[in-house]
Amino acid sequence: MDLIPGALRGMGYSAVPMVLSVIGTVGTRVFWIFGIFPYHRSLGILFVSYPASWGLTIVLQAACFYFVRKRVHGKRLFVN
């Protein structure tokens, strides 16, 4: 969860990984506690929220990295 945001910050997009991390980790865990946990009350289900939020965050950041990389490389002019 740290590699892709670091690459995005290196390309000049520092706010994007911050927003995606907050939405991916905090938002997923809050949704999990209020949406899934009340129907399946066990400690194991509660602990699954951590890897689930990490996975979602990584997928969001990878998708963002793909689009930002495409945009950054599209602006470059290569001189032969």
Q: For residues 27 and 10, give the distance between their C-alpha atoms in angstroms, rounded to a whole number.
A: 25
pTM summary value: 0.79
Query: What is the per-residue pLDDT across 35-75, written as a single tens digit (0 to 9) for each?
Result: 999 999 999 999 999 999 999 999 999 999 999 888 877 76
Q: How many domains does the chain have?
A: 1
Q: Does any domain span residue 7?
A: yes
- Domain with 8, as residue range(s), is 3-75
Q: Is the pLDDT of residue 80 over 60?
A: no
Q: Which is nearest to 46 in space by CA: 59, 58, 62, 28?
A: 28
18 near 62, Cβ under 8 Å? no
Q: Does any domain span residue 69?
A: yes
Other beta carbons within 10 Å of 17 = 24
Q: Does any domain span residue 80?
A: no
Q: Can you give the pLDDT at residue 49? A: 93
Query: What is the per-residue pLDDT across 14-33, written as a single tens digit (0 to 9) for each?
Result: 898 899 999 989 999 999 99
Q: For residues 73 and 75, give the distance between their C-alpha atoms in angstroms, rounded to a whole number.
A: 5
Q: Within its chain, how far is the Cα of 16 from the centroid? A: 9
